[in-house]
Structure 1
């Protein structure tokens, strides 16, 4: 699955519009009219996508505002990291590969900082600001499922300058570049995961990333920005995941959205959307287990019949103490919840077989 791509920021067309590389058109775009992006400020921007038949562009007020808020003047390269379906974390690098404006681990997922470099000979040179306050002389690099220990040292590349860089070297590094066939000059992005761990992502010359990595979602900030009119009916635009490290956003398969609000809490019941019920045969389930981080909360699932209106579509509802569930998860009402069915099972309860659906709720 494609997750990341790099391309040059067009200084002449921005902030009016940015032409995306062919990699986006070939591997990431499915005809959407807009995509969700966020950057260092952890705010969501819902950017319009224009396909002129030849190239795809990001444009409009949302894109212009994103550039203003998240892309400093010294940035020359943009890096899109897919965190969910049509959802990207976007960062950027200056001409020497330093990420700007940078961020801390407590702010964005499990990442501390990134840098963009080309493979060098006689060890790998990294910008001096990327790794600082180093107390150990070894790092562990994670790349394409491999974990390799490499040596590290601070080096002074120019004797006329006090500026120091970082150098990775040793048998571990030599073996890694041989195993992954990393050519001299190949684009690489290092991510400082903290605790002397570095993630390494490799890129083709067209900006496409070679391998998958474990990408955790950005914890977006509340309150959210105003939703543009063209996305107001999209329930995804109202949802913000509050489950730190939740890694089940790679697609929208088996997903529905429903709002936790006063009526749901007061009536102890939440209606599952009809368009979800039929293909997933929700009327055949008797219970559901809701999972949020370490919390587990059982609810009943039942079909509700309206005998006074025979022609009306019957509804499937989840019944339970929704206020208690919301408090357990730290949800503030109103909260647009995302339900993703993870698996199902059958259990015998009081002598009867009962189908149980298990959902991640965030």
Structure 2
């Protein structure tokens, strides 16, 4: 700021007023200061500004993707919970597959005028993010396996998968196939772990893992293979969208849900009751997860101390509808 003041030929106080958006500065002087900032590459330090002004009343949310209903519902819940507490949210989408985009987002983390950050990103991106977050800004992580340095709010993915798999086995199915999400996804990995370990504990065969990308299209494409296998009578899908694609593939192959194949989803989206038949699904309480994430961030702000690292687990619950039934009797 002192360099900008010297370059523009004004006082440091004038630069401060321009940088913080205060009045009392002539238009021509403001333009002169802004030009000096641009020429010198000056960026306001959000941590220093927060110390001076007290609080921005803003929580930053960084998300790996906005393409899945789970991520959208999580961000919506965070924004709502923050608003209840009198905070706004700043959303920064991060596309992991675009390296240049990742670097730009991490650069912006140094400039953000936020009081806390909630990171809804995969573990492999966290180390780079943490080195660029302004010092003293509280961090809360969502749905990640990185639980040794920060507070983590994580839906009980493993137990939800256990409930889904045990439900299908209890109906009499010999085994359960699993349509999982992307390999880099923590929720997908935990759901696959819950499915696999439940089958192993029950002494059942574990079918090959089938990997989709959360989309209904991937559920359809994999579903065409499953529909052609008469031994497949039960499928646990890692989200409701892939279950929707599976429905279509089964219907095209002349296999009925649930008379021929039982299907369970995950997320319990609002549309699950409109599936034909209504979809049995693992319910995630996105609103509760959002509340817990915001509460953890604000607790650090209000106490001025970092919370002890650990995982705050949000329970899941299986909601049984008409897409599951006992397997067909051998002809």
With the shorter chain as reference, the TM-score category is under 0.3
Q: Which has the higher strand share?
A: 1
Q: Which has the higher helix share?
A: 2
Greater relative contact order (CA < 8 Å, ≥ 6 in sequence)? 2
What TM-score does the superposition give when structure 1 sets the normalisation length?
0.20
What TM-score does the superposition give when structure 2 sets the normalisation length?
0.21
